[in-house]
């Protein structure tokens, strides 16, 4: 397997092609799941990523990327062996084996995807992401208008089953655009994004926007007031703003709100499964099959929602800690360590390549599905994390190569 190049060589990737590649892994899984009625979101994700691989026309992955995939395979196999200590019959079911293959496929395709983006020209990549952002904003505005006029009576968003699914795709793209937008365009970006978040009434999107602003920009108090006021007016024009939605999701004493109960159940089951498995974890894809149920899951059952997020724990770190134990907890700590490190080293005034900004946006915004709202391992958000890791490796190699060239000169 040949070594990948450290210095980027631009290849002829058109804007339309790059946009299509983005849509295939960001939007198409939700389209298959919601609009076409595919039973399982993981299956729709794998279908989308398989199509993405076909369109990538990928080359061989580099040796370092291949070693990362091998290490991931070893980790999954080791965890499956540990899970045999608790339930040997469930340790290697068809679902478990298929999930292992699916995650490895995701990792491989994400390395190919990262390579394609790295070889793409900077101007085409920037233009593609901005077009994608405009497309997502259009979906958001149309969805608000459809809900306001009662053409649709639920909170679905055309291609997305719910606002949170839309938010998890929107936030990293918003972060990328945030870095490159200046002046009046920046104010418009804030107002438009916050207006959509308030209009669709989604706390996940609001939190994601706030995190994005803090990791990408430094804003003054006056700017904050103007942005919030503008977003408020914009959302009032598009929708009847109901503040009770946000207060109900911030009330952790509320024992009837399903979103609150699901989140608390994820925390509770992660703790119980960690303790009862002595830190080993209950095994890969065993959450909801083995392990503890907890009080909050029992309350959900009493509210006729016994299966709500029972296999996923509402956010990814809950599932990681439940199934991988100490290793899962270390993964979360490792992520947060690099989150802090990237944030402290990131200079708002420094010029970075669009490839690095995209990787930075993908990585930093993974904070939302990891700790706030996410589902399982096989989804576009984990694919974004893999892609960010491989893009960062290309970026680091490029810097090293340039340093060596300067030393040689």
Q: Would residue 334 count as lying in a domain?
A: no
The answer to whether position 3 is within a domain reads no
Sorting pLDDT into bands at 50, 70 and 90, what band is 1?
very low
Asked if the structure places residue 28 within a domain, the reply is yes
Average pLDDT over all residues of the chain: 84
Q: 362-383, pLDDT tens digit by residue?
A: 999 999 999 998 888 999 999 9
Chain-centre distance for alpha carbon 41? 14
What's the pLDDT at 60? Answer: 63
Indicate whether 87 belongs to any domain: yes
Q: Which pLDDT belongs to residue 2? A: 42
Exposed/middle/buried for 326, CB within 10 Å: 0-12, 13-18, 19+? Answer: middle
Q: Which pTM does this prediction carry?
A: 0.87
Q: Which DSSP category does 377 fall into?
A: S
Question: Is residue 270 one of the residues assigned to a domain?
Answer: no
pLDDT in tens, 187-202: 889 889 988 998 888 8
pLDDT reported for residue 404 = 58
395 contact partners, CB below 8 Å, separation of at least 6: 353, 355, 356, 359
381 domain residue, yes or no:
yes
**Residue 129 pLDDT > 80, yes or no?**
yes
Q: Which domain holds residue 353?
A: 15-249+348-408
DSSP 223-265: HHHHHHHHHHHHHHHHS---THHHHHHS-TT-SS-HHHHHHHH
Which tokens hold the place of 351?
């010029």
Q: Does some domain include residue 387? A: yes
In angstroms, the Cα distances linking 358 to 129, 133, 135, 148, 250 are 9, 13, 18, 34, 31
Other beta carbons within 10 angstroms of residue 62's beta carbon come to: 21
Q: Are 100 and 73 a contacting pair, CB within 8 Å?
A: yes
Instruction: Please give the tally of structural domains in the chain.
Output: 1
Q: Give a yes or no: residue 372 inside a domain.
A: yes
Query: Percent of the chain at pLDDT above 70?
Result: 82
Dihedral (Cα; 186, 237, 200, 139), 10-degree rounding: -70
């Amino acid at each position: 397997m040949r070594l990948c190049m450290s210095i980027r060589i631009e290849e002829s990737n058109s804007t339309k092609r790059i946009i299509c590649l983005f849509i295939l892994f960001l939007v198409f899984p939700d389209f298959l799941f919601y609009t076409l009625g595919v039973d399982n979101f993981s299956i729709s994700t794998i279908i989308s990523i398989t199509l993405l691989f076909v369109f990538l026309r990928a080359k061989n992955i580099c040796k370092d990327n291949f070693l990362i995939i091998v290490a991931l395979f070893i980790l999954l196999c080791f965890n499956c062996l540990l899970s045999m200590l608790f339930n040997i019959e469930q340790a290697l079911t068809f679902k478990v084996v298929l999930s292992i293959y699916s995650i490895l496929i995701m990792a491989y395709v994400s390395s190919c995807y990262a390579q394609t983006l790295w070889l793409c020209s900077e101007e085409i990549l920037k233009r593609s992401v901005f077009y994608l952002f405009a497309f997502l904003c259009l979906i958001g505005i149309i969805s608000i208008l459809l809900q306001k006029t009662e053409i649709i009576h639920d909170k679905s968003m055309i291609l997305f089953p719910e606002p949170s699914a839309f938010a998890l795709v929107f936030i990293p793209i918003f972060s990328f655009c945030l870095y490159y937008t200046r002046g009046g365009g920046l104010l418009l970006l804030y107002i438009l994004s916050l207006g959509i978040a308030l209009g669709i009434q989604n706390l996940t999107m609001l939190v994601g926007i706030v995190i994005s602003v803090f990791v990408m920009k430094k804003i003054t108090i006056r700017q904050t007031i103007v942005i919030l006021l503008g977003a408020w007016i914009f959302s009032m024009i598009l929708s009847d703003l109901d503040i009770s939605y946000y207060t109900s999701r911030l009330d952790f004493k509320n024992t009837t709100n399903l979103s609150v109960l699901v989140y608390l159940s994820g925390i509770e089951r992660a703790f119980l499964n960690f303790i009862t498995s002595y830190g080993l974890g209950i095994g890969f894809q065993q959450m909801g099959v083995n392990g503890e149920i907890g009080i909050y899951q029992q309350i959900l059952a009493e509210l006729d929602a016994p299966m709500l997020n029972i296999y996923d724990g509402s956010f990814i770190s809950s599932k990681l800690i439940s199934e991988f134990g100490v290793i899962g907890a270390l993964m979360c700590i490792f992520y947060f360590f690099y989150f802090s490190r990237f944030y402290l080293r990131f200079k708002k005034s420094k010029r970075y390549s669009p490839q690095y900004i995209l990787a930075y946006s993908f990585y930093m915004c993974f904070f939302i599905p990891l700790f706030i709202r996410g589902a399982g391992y096989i989804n576009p958000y984990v694919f974004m994390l893999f892609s960010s890791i491989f893009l960062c490796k290309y970026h680091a190699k490029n810097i090293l190569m340039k340093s060596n060239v300067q030393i040689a000169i």
